[in-house]
């Protein structure tokens, strides 16, 4: 398919998740704990406020949660945005233009998502973040500082997708278990998307920094800072594995 048509087709396929929202709203029931919390709020007449996540002990959770999201998403954006350009222009790896490389990368991401979820319930949320942060940082440094041929790059695409994507599996549970039910949607939505907004600046900063140092070093530097930030922020929050949610 011609490139000028391919991206249009991909945008069209992207409509599918939006259509699924209608099925989710129709067939997925609200959690019992949410319904209980809503009933209590209605009985007491104390409607929750978005500003509650910036008061008392929740302020610390909100800020550290946002910082954790910044690290996770900043590292992911810095790597996925610039690494293909680095490998194509500085390493001359034509494999990046093939569907094989993308298939390996996507397969690694899928396995990473599944593994991250199971691992978070086995060793805890914080240790899971640490494992994936170290793994992602190691793979990125390997890509950017060690010369490999096309075949090795193809193989290494799997752990790259595995660690860079798998780190997100435990984030939903971690955020959910830190915010009370009455402001859980606002709290985890704000923390995660604060990370998304600030993390989106990382690719731009990598581009600016690459004017003063090799692109590979810029990618490695920002990825290391991002994943270290994520791990530190996570460990400044309490472990929540096994926590029972209450209204």
CA neighbours closer than 13 Å in the CB half-sphere of residue 207: 9
Position with higher pLDDT, 31 vs 149: 31
Predicted local confidence at residue 155, as pLDDT: 84
**Do the domain assignments include residue 9?**
no
> In this structure, what CATH number is given to the domain that contains residue 193?
1.20.1250.20
- Going by pLDDT thresholds of 50, 70 and 90, the confidence category of residue 95 is low
pLDDT 10s digits, 153-192:
778 889 988 999 999 999 999 999 999 999 999 999 999 9
Total number of domains constituting the chain:
1
**Do the domain assignments include residue 62?**
yes
**Domain around 109:** 55-235
**Do the domain assignments include residue 161?**
yes
- Going by pLDDT thresholds of 50, 70 and 90, the confidence category of residue 115 is very high
> For the residues 134-156, what does the mean pLDDT come to?
82
CA 163-153-137 angle, to 5 degrees, is: 30
3-state secondary structure of 102: helix
How buried is residue 68: exposed, middle or buried, by Cβ count under 10 Å (0-12/13-18/19+)? buried
- Going by pLDDT thresholds of 50, 70 and 90, the confidence category of residue 7 is confident
């Amino acid at each position: 398919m011609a490139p000028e048509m391919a991206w249009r087709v991909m945008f069209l396929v992207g409509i599918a998740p939006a259509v699924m929202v209608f099925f989710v709203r129709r067939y997925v029931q609200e959690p019992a704990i949410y319904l209980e919390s809503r009933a209590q709020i209605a009985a007491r007449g104390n409607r929750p406020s978005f500003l509650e996540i910036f008061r008392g002990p929740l302020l610390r959770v909100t800020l550290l949660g946002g910082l954790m999201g910044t690290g996770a998403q900043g590292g992911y954006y810095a790597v996925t945005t610039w690494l293909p350009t680095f490998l194509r222009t500085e390493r001359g790896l034509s494999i990046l233009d093939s569907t094989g490389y993308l298939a390996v990368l996507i397969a690694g991401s899928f396995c990473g998502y599944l593994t991250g979820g199971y691992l978070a319930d086995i060793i805890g949320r914080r240790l899971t973040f640490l494992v994936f942060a170290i793994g992602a940082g190691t793979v990125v440094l390997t890509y950017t500082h060690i010369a490999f041929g096309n075949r090795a790059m193809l193989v290494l695409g799997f752990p790259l997708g595995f660690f860079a994507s798998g780190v997100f599996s435990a984030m939903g549970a971690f955020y959910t278990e830190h915010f009370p039910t009455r402001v859980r949607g606002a709290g985890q939505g704000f923390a995660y998307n604060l990370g998304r907004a600030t993390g989106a600046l990382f690719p731009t900063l990598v581009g600016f920094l690459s004017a003063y140092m090799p692109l590979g070093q810029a990618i490695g530097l920002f990825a290391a800072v991002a994943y270290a930030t994520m791990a530190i922020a996570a460990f400044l929050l309490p472990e929540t594995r096994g926590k029972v949610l209450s209204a």
